[in-house]
Homo-oligomer: A and B are copies of this chain.
Amino acid sequence: MAGSCFGKHFSVSTWGESHGKGLGVVIDGCPAGLPLCEADIQRYLDRRKPGQSQYTTSRKEGDQAEILSGVFEGKTTGTPISILVANTSQRSQDYSEIASYYRPGHADYTFDMKYGFRDYRGGGRSSGRETIGRVAAGAVAVKILEEIGIQICAYTHSIGPVEITPERFDAAEIPNNAFYMPDAKAAAEAAVYTRQCMEEQDSVGGVIECVVTGMPAGVGEPCFDKLDANLAKAVLSIGAVKGFEMGDGFQAARARGTENNDAFVNHGNGVEKETNHAGGVLGGISDGSPIIFRAAVKPTPSVAATQHTVNKKGENIEISIHGRHDPVIVPRAVVVVEAMTALTLVDALFEGMSARMDQVRKVWGR
């Protein structure tokens, strides 16, 4: 497993390059009896599809999911689910030039160092199209979570310096703006800021926040496989993500213990926490309150402005990257964060099934 597999129980293997024949994923370990059809997957893929607003690449991809195995008469059979998305809109000529030099902020140089050469067309395996397999698998994981009452909601928390405001938070607003922000006013400001950057041939980053509700207490492992550690890995494994915060995150490092501790309280419905600085996890295990984390997304490295770099001959050169690029990748990454969260949670839930003898007896006992 050279890193294109994720998950120990609900195990996904993604494959495919930006300009190859297609991309896809094989899921091994999906339980039998889950209702599943291609539309369930397409709904998620459509959220990451390019070409949906002026702030994403103008490249149009059909990105149609086809289920090749593992589903029979509308239900999963327990055997591997293979999902294929054929590539249909590759203009390889756009990319032939980048074969000869290393784009700053991209993986061109490191792929060459690791493998000796690379499929340079559109970034090859390091393209954002690699996330298609993740999102397709994540859509299946989300269906499992729904069956046990768990919901995931990610959205854009900030675009460059423009942040959402808690007072204006409105989850219903998320799908209404091109930035997937739960705050219409912030979204409008983000649009102004992004257009300005685009005019200056530059690109923009931002922060994505994700909230999980309905999570039972007791999920996650206490040592290396802490739920927050696994979420951090899942989210940092997304191409442009450079930081991860659980609950108060870096702010907690500045707080005092009395400020940061969440008091337990019983209002008559069992143990609850009065606050949620921890983000829903204590000692790596879910505490029953919402799981909250944030991911920092860097600005798209492909900018039209002139940049200095080195070509494969080792010569210093100047380049200017044209072609169909996203000025900001944050909105399209929101669904990828949801997908990686779903994969992580399903795996943690399945891992936890054998944590107690009474649970073992529930399934296998006489």
Contact = CB atoms under 8 A, between A and B. Distances in A.
B33 A357 contact: yes
Interface of A is mostly: mixed
B72 A124 contact: yes
A20 B68 contact: yes
A68 B21 CA distance: 5
Contacts of A144: 357, 360
A267 to B, nearest CB: 9
A114 B31 contact: no
A213 B216 CA distance: 36
Given A110-B283, A264-B104, A15 B69 contact: yes
A290 to B, nearest CB: 15
Copy tally for this chain in the complex stands at 4
A233 B3 CA distance: 14
B316 A265 contact: yes
A158 to B, nearest CB: 7
A95 interface: no
Most B C-beta atoms less than 10 A away, residue of A109, A236, A278, A296:
A236
Nearest to A205: B253
A172 B359 CA distance: 34
Contacts of A192: none
Contact of A283 (B31, B106, B234, B256): B106
A75 B113 contact: no
A236 B242 contact: no
Contacts of A118: 72, 77
Interface string A6-29: 101111011111001111101011
Interface in A232-263: 232-237, 239, 242-250, 252-263
A169 interface: no
A32 B359 CA distance: 10
Nearest to A321: B257
Contacts of A314: 266, 270-271
A105 interface: yes
A355 B115 contact: yes
Interface stretch (A45-53, A56-64, A182-190, A222-230): A222-230
A218 B110 contact: yes
Nearest to A203: B257
B114 A218 contact: yes
Nearest to A161: B254
Interface string A289-304: 0000000111111110
Contacts of A363: 352-353, 359, 362-363
A242 B243 contact: no
Contact of A78 (B2, B22, B228, B264): B2
A271 B14 contact: no
A344 to B, nearest CB: 11
Given A77-B124, A244-B245, A245-B296, 11 more contacts: A2-B221, A31-B357, A75-B117, A116-B358, A144-B357, A144-B360, A160-B253, A207-B250, A243-B243, A252-B296, A266-B315
27 contacts: A1-B9, A1-B28, A3-B284, A15-B81, A15-B82, A17-B69, A17-B72, A22-B69, A68-B84, A104-B261, A106-B282, A110-B284, A110-B287, A111-B222, A116-B358, A206-B253, A224-B233, A243-B246, A243-B253, A255-B299, A263-B307, A263-B309, A266-B310, A266-B314, A271-B314, A352-B363, A353-B364
